[in-house]
Amino acid sequence: MIRSNPGVSASSQTTHAIARWDADSRDRHQSRLLRHLVDLVTWLYTFGGYLLSLYLVTRPGWMLPLAGVSLMAHTMILSALLTHECMHGTMSKRPALNAHLGRASTLISGACYVPYALLRRQHLDHHRNRVGYDGFSITRWVASLPPALRHIVMALEWCYVPVLSYVARFRSLAMPFLQAQHRPLRTRIAIVLLLRGACYLALLSISPWSGLWIFCAHGVMLTILRIYDCFHHTFEVIALGTPMPRLERDYEQRNTYSSLISREHMWLNRIFLNYGFHNAHHAFPHAHWTDLARIDAALYPASRAHCIHRRELLRGYHRHRVARILEGLGRPEVIDGKVVMDRYYGIVMNISFIVYDV
């Protein structure tokens, strides 16, 4: 049994946070125009920056391509997080507009191989049922490999090459061609593969090195999203189709942690749309990303037992990058109001809003 966060009891905090949040409604209405402006700038930066990065990675030399890798990685991360925002309906009051924006954002993150509606349902099931779904057990798969191949996989992961994320992605694309129940996805996957393949070939014709730069940018995107998601939950992980376990009311908050870049310089968390404020997001899934820091402060005004800060986050991810693959999630502890990462290895799973788990 995974040890949950003993410093968090969600029921009373959530009730008080709702009261504070409702009392602040006038300020939220006044800031709505600013929020829309921030969203507009974010979308323009994401799409414009991605197009610019495609140009930069085709330039000769290495300085401009390296700048392109950084820009491409950031815009791909933002596109994935914007997909996540759209799934929760935070971009607009109109569901259709959220859906259109969500579909558009998947073109950059590479989540466009399956219909947006399927990804959205999968992700919302994670919120609704408060479990982790795993159609592909990475730990069991690695253990089943021949020793030589297993050592290669582990060496690549040790070197920060997210090979297991690529394996999971390739599996999700291949399974519809191997399993009859996913047959309706075949045509879409084939068409998207052909179109994206043609685009990559066009870039390679301009610069053969562009393929390497794009691969590096995609690897950075996956690694950063994995670092964020690695320690967010100690939910029970179940196979697809397993009956839902009965859970206590405050189970969700007791088994959720927030991964923050900084508390002293809160603006740094906005680089990734405040995605690290995960307790706040799970308490108020429909809250806009610009509001999550204030919600977190309202939920836990005197406690930091749910927070994993940048130094501990990076140290824990680095230190346990092999152990989490071989041994699984591990056991988090909270001592003196602080999360102790010694035996909290984290988890490697599909990111539910960009990869469809089959």
pLDDT in tens, 137-152: 777 888 899 999 999 9
Q: Is a pLDDT exceeding 90 seen at residue 160?
A: yes
Per-residue pLDDT band at 23 (split at 50, 70, 90): very low
Over residues 252-260, the mean pLDDT reads 90
Give the pLDDT of residue 342.
87
Asked if 139 and 329 count as a contact pair (C-beta separation under 8 A), the reply is no
Q: Is a pLDDT exceeding 50 seen at residue 278?
A: yes
Q: Is a pLDDT exceeding 80 seen at residue 19?
A: no
Name the percent of the chain lying above pLDDT 70: 87
Give the pLDDT of residue 247.
73
Q: Is a pLDDT exceeding 60 seen at residue 121?
A: yes
Domain extent listing, the chain: 10-24+116-340
Mean pLDDT rounded to a whole number for the chain: 87
Give the pLDDT of residue 9.
53
Q: Is a pLDDT exceeding 90 seen at residue 295?
A: yes
Q: 197 to each of 190, 200, 205, 304, how far by Cα in Å?
A: 10, 5, 12, 46
What span, in angstroms and rounded, lies between the C-alpha atoms of 172 and 179?
11
Give the pLDDT of residue 43.
98
Q: Which of 57-71, 167-181, 300-314 is least confident?
A: 300-314
Q: Is a pLDDT exceeding 80 seen at residue 262?
A: yes
Per-residue pLDDT band at 22 (split at 50, 70, 90): low
DSSP 288-316: -GGGHHHHHHHH-TT--TTEEEHHHHHHH
- The label of the residue with tokens 């253990």 reads 143
